[in-house]
Amino acid sequence: MTFVALPRLVIDRARLEVATSRLVIANRDPAPGELGVPVDATIALELIDTGTDGIARGATRVWVDGALAFQGGAPTEFASAFSGVRARVTQSGDTLRIVLDPTAPLASLATVSVRVVSQTVGGAASLDEVYSFTVEDRTAPQVVA
């Protein structure tokens, strides 16, 4: 067995998530509940089918603060407000990775909600999940006399 020595590596927290559903959301960036997200951040997530069917791209939708941001299978999958140069979608056999790139900065101190709806090919498993994160404080200081 090979061991790797990593001086100065400190693991502050580790979290184990057990998936009970076949269709799961993973690798969310920003993460659910994250604070201080930069105003120019992208919103990324991966849908993973833990079974064998794969993700039905045409049945996948993502809303950001109630606005449709991604509609899989549409002629233009990204809404114009989320189609910046870093926006992309990548699909492999069991994974669909979506990166939304807002064309305008996120509002300072806003709590942004993301809703994801999808299903597997054939509809054996489905997902409808909402999570949120909070944007950094960019409020300019005020001089008090």
Domains of the chain in sequence order: 23-122 (2.60.40)
Residue numbers in the chain where pLDDT is lower than 70: 1-6, 9, 12, 15-20
Does the predicted TM-score (pTM) go above 0.85? no
Predicted local distance difference test score (pLDDT) of residue 62: 98
- For residue 136, what are the CA distances in angstroms to 27, 35, 36, 45, 111? 20, 7, 4, 20, 10
Predicted local distance difference test score (pLDDT) of residue 13: 72
Predicted local distance difference test score (pLDDT) of residue 105: 96
